[in-house]
Amino acid sequence: MEWLSMLRTLLWCILLPFIFLFRWLLVAIGPALHLSSYVFSWMMIPLKFLAKFETIYIYLGVAALIGLITGSILHLSSAILVSMLSLDSQQKEKRSSSSLQSAEQASFEDSWRNARPKGHRDSLIPDDSLEKRYAEWLEKSRGKNKEDQSLFGLTILEEEDDFENRL
């Protein structure tokens, strides 16, 4: 064990100048280290503030991840359904909005012309089937008193409060 104590003494003698130099260096830059610790703590204040909202960040991150996964699944499933059912939009020719509007207007005008052909005036003659269907309802409405049809018959009368009478 004597050789262990000799090795320790030898290392102490070799490292002594470095240890001495290191301690003087710490003394010299001590105030700068102290000041830098304060600057570092001031720089960490925003991060400490943001750390308080860590649970919100986790919640929003998980929600975004779930949204991305769900959106991807929906996109893939709709793409598979479109390809399986042959609903490709390439079959329809692409048109501009003005051509679509003009085609829609033309189809509307055609349907209007077909609905009321020239020379047929049967559509202008009143239909008695409606009167027959609602004859009972019409008789009830004609038989009502004129007082019931006035505004007074439709108003909701306010009830008197017993609370005011008790005072």
Residue-wise pLDDT for 51-88, tens only, equals: 999 999 999 999 999 999 999 999 999 999 988 888 87
- Non-local (6+) Cβ contacts of 95 within 8 A are 103
Q: Which residue has the higher pLDDT, 18 or 133?
A: 18
**Residue 78's pLDDT is what?**
93
Distance of CA 15 to the CA centre of its chain: 67
C-alpha–C-alpha distance, residues 141 and 105, integer Å:
42
At 150, is the secondary structure helix, strand, or coil? coil
Mean pLDDT, rounded, of the chain: 78
Q: Which residue has the higher pLDDT, 120 or 15?
A: 15
- Tell me: the pLDDT tens digits for 127-166? 667 667 767 766 665 555 554 556 666 667 666 666 666 6
Dihedral, CA of residue 69, residue 72, residue 74 and residue 76, to nearest 10: -140
pTM of the model: 0.33
